[in-house]
Chain A
């Protein structure tokens, strides 16, 4: 009969796996999937949660050994490195890309990303995804038929040097997979109360739309501050 003892190294690995499993369960149970996954990749959250849980339990169950060596120093670094992203997520309130990222990220994307044509938009509600699609296809002029009609958009505020008083850019990020591939869609809002809204404030703007050159201008009839939406990122149609 052999005397088995717990291996610190294996317990450390089991703990790291448990941290990650907990994170995936946390994302699911706290309804935070929209912060990390696009609508078409949300299935990864339960898959990750289940497989990480199995791995953590399996490692824990096999953590008793005849020769429990202390963890090699490299093992400690590996465990810390791998749990760092999980701790970052759990220690901080959920954040979304904002005005800083607007200045850095592209407003265009390679490939057939959003398929929208002008004829799709002759009637009905207009969304920021539609506007992105029209910009991508170079078909923004198709909105001319709707110039002056009323639309409503929700997004966050950013400012650029071209904004005059009472103007700001209303933005929303579109993700196809995760925030790593986010692209920005924005409209220029004019006629807003000057100085009332700060960068990154979430607002709903209702007003008349006018396509001008490569951008859409919204002449605001109403601008109200709102909470960040439950799904802060938009998904391509």
Chain B
């Protein structure tokens, strides 16, 4: 059963709201008047940063809409039909089910927990959790939009979908043998992490819908802003020529972009616009970025830690990294080189 979202009271917040907003605006206006923000490096950073955010935001919002619809208007029973399948079919069915239930990676964690609680085979639930943020129509559409102008839309969409499904199946098969007791933490996670995805408040569905929509949007939005800032800083400060030497080494480039995906914690509905900007990295490395990020990043590590036992998180790292590195290198060798 979903835990109601609770806005924790914080009596000091009102006191800080106006000064914080005022200081922030003063900083911007001061920078504008002094000309400091028009210095070439800062202007370059700002242009790239704002462009990535503006480009990715509509997709993040569409994802939040879809997630809110599922959360509020689709019953757990609809997802739970998979539990009536034979165990051997549950994992592939659950992994493919992501296409019908497009939730982002943060949404998929509590959904997976609920599915396990409703009797789904743990491997199938883990497969759904890994696949749904990758193999879903909004994510694949955004990948298409980001890469099709370079004539790479079909290649990257099919590569992402295929490698995402493979990763989901391997994770499900290898980690799902744990019983429910060995998988889930006994106690619920931090309210703040989970509440953003559990917006049903009372019986008012419309209110619950917008509660969930905006909760998702803001929860993911900060990671988008941080990720865009990271990408913009990377492009502003580091000359491509300096990075190119490292980037063109397939394995190192792939591991480097996976590390960036882990740190930047982008939403899978918007990450293709950041990935496509790493033009000096091979396409296989960009694919690894696109598949690894939705499987494991900083924010997911927190969510996993709040939902599953610690051993599962480490097992996920051990299983997912080799699969994604090998898959992206194979992709590069077969379809790009």
Query: Is B a genuine binding partner of A?
Result: yes
- A177, B149: Cβ atoms closer than 8 Å: yes
- B49, A85: Cβ atoms closer than 8 Å: yes
Which residues of B in the span 299-325 have a Cβ within 8 Å of any Cβ on A? none
Q: Return the CB mask of A33-67 against B: 1 if under 8 Å, else 0.
A: 00111101100100110011001001101100000
Main secondary structure of the interface of B (DSSP, over half): helix
- A48, B57: Cβ atoms closer than 8 Å: yes
The CA-CA distance from A55 to B218 in the complex, in Å, is 12
A8 CB–B CB distance under 8 Å: yes
Contacts of B11 in A (CB 8 A): 70
- A47, B13: Cβ atoms closer than 8 Å: no
Q: Do A177 and B46 form a contact, CB below 8 Å, given A62-B210, A74-B192, A105-B235?
A: no
Contacts of A13 in B (CB 8 A): 214, 218
- B20, A76: Cβ atoms closer than 8 Å: yes
Contacting residue for B218 out of A58, A79, A96, CB 8 A: A79
- B61, A71: Cβ atoms closer than 8 Å: no
Question: Range of interface residues on chain A?
Answer: 35 or more
- B222, A236: Cβ atoms closer than 8 Å: no
Rounded to whole Å, the gap between the CB of A95 and the closest CB of chain B is: 5
- A71, B273: Cβ atoms closer than 8 Å: no
Contacts of A70 in B (CB 8 A): 9-11, 13-14
- B244, A85: Cβ atoms closer than 8 Å: no
A165 CB–B CB distance under 8 Å: no
Rounded to whole Å, the gap between the CB of A210 and the closest CB of chain B is: 26
- B40, A51: Cβ atoms closer than 8 Å: no
The CA-CA distance from A179 to B221 in the complex, in Å, is 20
B277 CB–A CB distance under 8 Å: yes
Rounded to whole Å, the gap between the CB of A86 and the closest CB of chain B is: 8
B84 CB–A CB distance under 8 Å: no
Closest to B274 in A: A180
User: Contacting chain B: which of A106-114, A120-128, A142-150, A221-229?
Assistant: A106-114
Which residues of B in the span 186-234 have a Cβ within 8 Å of any Cβ on A? 192, 204, 206-207, 209-211, 213-214, 217-218, 221-222, 225-226, 228, 231-232
Contacts of A55 in B (CB 8 A): 61, 64-65, 210, 213-214, 217
The CA-CA distance from A87 to B55 in the complex, in Å, is 16
The CA-CA distance from A183 to B279 in the complex, in Å, is 8
Q: Return the CB mask of B16-56 against A: 1 if under 8 Å, else 0.
A: 11001100110011001000011011011011111111110
B97 CB–A CB distance under 8 Å: no
Q: Return the CB mask of B93-127 against A: 1 if under 8 Å, else 0.
A: 00000000000000000000000000000000000
A171 CB–B CB distance under 8 Å: no
The CA-CA distance from A58 to B25 in the complex, in Å, is 26
The CA-CA distance from A78 to B17 in the complex, in Å, is 11
- B232, A84: Cβ atoms closer than 8 Å: no
Closest to B65 in A: A51
User: Contacting chain A: which of B167-175, B256-264, B280-288?
Assistant: B280-288
- B279, A73: Cβ atoms closer than 8 Å: no
The CA-CA distance from A178 to B51 in the complex, in Å, is 6
- A180, B51: Cβ atoms closer than 8 Å: yes
B86 CB–A CB distance under 8 Å: no
- B221, A178: Cβ atoms closer than 8 Å: no
The CA-CA distance from A221 to B150 in the complex, in Å, is 35
Contacts of B237 in A (CB 8 A): 104
B145 CB–A CB distance under 8 Å: yes
Closest to B29 in A: A91
B179 CB–A CB distance under 8 Å: no
Q: Do A105 and B240 form a contact, CB below 8 Å, given A47-B58, A84-B24?
A: yes
The CA-CA distance from A13 to B218 in the complex, in Å, is 8
Contacts of B25 in A (CB 8 A): 87
Contacts of B38 in A (CB 8 A): 92, 95
B7 CB–A CB distance under 8 Å: yes
B238 CB–A CB distance under 8 Å: yes
The CA-CA distance from A75 to B20 in the complex, in Å, is 12
- A72, B210: Cβ atoms closer than 8 Å: no
- Inter-chain pairs besides A24-B54, A85-B50, A180-B232, 17 sampled, C-beta below 8 Å: A8-B14, A16-B218, A36-B51, A36-B54, A44-B59, A47-B62, A48-B61, A59-B213, A75-B218, A84-B24, A85-B54, A89-B54, A100-B44, A176-B149, A176-B150, A176-B276, A181-B276
Listed by A's residue number, 27 A-B pairs whose Cβ atoms lie within 8 Å are A24-B54, A44-B59, A47-B58, A55-B64, A58-B213, A62-B207, A62-B210, A62-B211, A69-B8, A70-B9, A71-B10, A75-B7, A76-B21, A79-B218, A88-B49, A88-B50, A91-B28, A91-B32, A97-B47, A110-B281, A177-B276, A178-B51, A178-B273, A178-B277, A180-B51, A181-B277, A181-B279
3 smallest beta-carbon distances between A and B, as pairs: A100-B40, A176-B149, A48-B58
Q: A interface vs B, CB < 8 Å?
A: 7-10, 12-13, 16-17, 20, 23-24, 27, 35-38, 40-41, 44, 47-48, 51-52, 55, 58-59, 61-62, 69-82, 84-85, 87-89, 91-92, 95-101, 103-106, 109-113, 115, 176-181, 183, 235-236
Q: B interface vs A, CB < 8 Å?
A: 7-14, 16-17, 20-21, 24-25, 28-29, 32, 37-38, 40-41, 43-44, 46-55, 57-59, 61-62, 64-65, 145-152, 192, 204, 206-207, 209-211, 213-214, 217-218, 221-222, 225-226, 228, 231-232, 235-241, 244, 273-274, 276-277, 279-283, 336
